[in-house]
Structure 1
């Protein structure tokens, strides 16, 4: 009589939030590793500087509603960056009571330097995703919106164009590029975008 084999246990079903928990820790580690080589900013700080450089000045309350960071965390971060000379606070002309948070010229310089380090270090990820980057960003945007709807948060301060025309193409008549070379070109394009004026940054 043939031996009865035991069925392999089914893989555990994990939730979407657990997926996000795993990804969040990998992203935090990737940010910190990418910026560790002399940028002077942590991954969390780089994100904060990026937000202010592209969408600031903004009130601490608006920053909290954009990011879901607790107000106490926003306040502590602002105080630390003010002491560093990278952020200042100014009266909000809209109401005269709240204050606007903005990067100083030194803060902009620090962010630009960190951006160069960041884009250089993240080229392998861009190469791995290749043409899928835009589709991944659209999926993340939909998830972002769902989380904001559930949490009662404000819309994110920018939108990724969810249309077929969103992809842009550059003409090139030279020798076909390898997969690694294409990834490097895409990463360099992203790097060039970070060197625009604050009004033109993406």
Structure 2
């Protein structure tokens, strides 16, 4: 299997008249590693790609592949988002096949790793209806990975807490998840931080649209 970002970097290097030795030295990486990267034999971390980009003095936009650009095919932004979500689901299903928790449960555990929270706050962070969230945490609660603890601010409600067993399960699942994340980040033309900000902005816009449609429906 080959990875396209390496050959792209090689083309940029040759366009600038630089040798592998020069770029490897300036990037602070081993020459054999750069050669394997350029040959498409490895799926590098974004940090490695960023070092090479710095040595070449190029931006993420220079890594874009026009041949794969479908921006003019007449389909919408939401269609592309739908397509990306389908591919993401397949990637996580494949990479986390041996995990004791599902990809959706991993997302729940990841938020709970940040701290105990209410079901409504957790549902909001995950973009899920509260009823769906409660159904999704039922199995983790039965496993002993998630527990319900009293809510000091409201004695009539509770918060969700990730137990020690849940944290261990999350750690094990992370060892399967991380390589998938690294593979995605290393292939992106934009930096992970830039893409994440764009996705967060898109998520807020979709949330606003949901609220707008809800207002229209009850008016």
The one of 157, 168, 175 aligned to 1:109 = 168
- 2:106 is aligned to 46
Q: Which of 130, 143, 150 is residue 209 of structure 2 equivalent to?
A: 150
Counterpart for residue 28 of structure 1: 89
Q: In structure 2, what is the equivalent of residue 7 of structure 1?
A: none
Equivalent-residue separation in structure 2 for 1:23 and 1:120 (angstroms): 18
Partners of 1:34 and 1:118 within 8 A in 2: yes
2: CA distance between counterparts of 1:84 and 1:73?
18
CA apart distance, 1:102: 1.0
- Give the Cα–Cα distance (whole angstroms) in 2 for the partners of residues 21 and 130 of structure 1: 20
State the shift of 1:131 in Å. 5.8
Compared CA separation, residues 66 and 93, structure 1 to 2 (3 A): same
Q: Which residue of the other structure, out of 69, 74, 93, is the alignment partner of 1:13? A: 74
For the aligned residue pairs, the C-alpha RMSD in angstroms reads 2.1
Gaps of 5+ in 1: 1-10, 154-202
Matched residues, number: 141
Over residues 78-125 of structure 1, what are the superposed CA-to-partner deviations in whole Å (9 max), with x where a residue is unaligned?
221111110000110011111101110000010011111211243322
Q: What is residue 64 of structure 1 aligned with on the other side?
A: 123
The answer (yes or no) to whether the contact 1:34–1:122 under 8 Å persists in 2 is: no
1:129 shift after superposition: 2.2
Superposed CA deviations along residues 132-190 of structure 1, whole A, max 9, x for unmatched, are 2222122112212222333349xxxxxxxxxxxxxxxxxxxxxxxxxxxxxxxxxxxxx
Write out aligned runs for 1:76-155 (5 A): 76-129=135-188, 132-152=191-211
What TM-score does the superposition give when structure 2 sets the normalisation length?
Answer: 0.59
Q: How far apart in 2 are the matches of 1:65 and 1:118? A: 23
Q: What SS is found at the alignment partner of 2:100?
A: coil
1 or 2, which has the higher helix percentage? 2
TM-score (structure 1 length as normaliser): 0.63
Q: Distance in 1 between matches of 2:198 and 2:181?
A: 20
Offset of 1:18 from its aligned partner?
1.6
Pick which of 67-76 and 77-86 moved more.
67-76
Question: Runs of 4 or more off by more than 6 Å in structure 1?
Answer: none
